[in-house]
Homo-oligomer: A and B are copies of this chain.
C-alpha cells in the first residue's frame, strides 16, 4: 500500500498593530504601500487577479488573488517555480484582520510548505517577522 504524503506545514505570524483595520487593509492592498513593506508588485484586490511579487535582486513570485473581504480577510497564492523540489513552492498566504481595543490584530498564515522544506519554512518565519516590522513603519508614516 502506498500512502501519498499530503501533509503540509504553515508559518503563522501574528501581531497587534496600533492602527484601525482600514489603515492596515490599505497597506495590504495598495500597490505602492505593498511595495514599501513587501515587494514590488502589480497587485489588485480582485479575486482571480494574477500578479507577481518581485525582489530587488531579480527573484519573482507568481501569485493569484483568492479571497478579498475588505478590512477582514485577504488571501492569495504565493508560488515559486524551481527545478529543484527543495525550492519549488506552492503556498497560500492568508491575512486575517480582527479589530481590538488598541487597534488591529493581524494574523498571517502561509500554508503549503512540505515537511522536507525546513529551510524555506524557517526563512519564511524570519522573513514575515521582518516584513511585519516594515509594515508597521509604513502605516505609521501614512498617519
List residues of A whose CB falls within 8 A of some B CB. Answer: 39-40, 52-61, 78, 80-84, 87, 89, 91, 119-120, 123-124, 126-127, 130-131
Contacts and interface: CB of A to CB of B under 8 A. Distances in A.
Give chain A's interface secondary structure class: mixed
Given A40-B119, A81-B83, A83-B81, A58 B126 contact: no
A56 B87 contact: no
A18 to B, nearest CB: 25
Given A82-B81, A119-B40, A58 B56 contact: no
Contacts of A123: 40, 54-58
Given A52-B84, A81-B83, 11 more contacts: A39-B57, A40-B119, A54-B120, A54-B123, A56-B124, A57-B61, A57-B127, A58-B78, A58-B80, A58-B87, A60-B87
Contacts of A57: 39, 53, 55, 61, 123-124, 127, 131
A83 B81 CA distance: 9
A60 B58 contact: no
- Give 6 nearest A-B pairs by CB, closest first: A56-B127, A59-B59, A56-B123, A60-B87, A58-B80, A57-B127
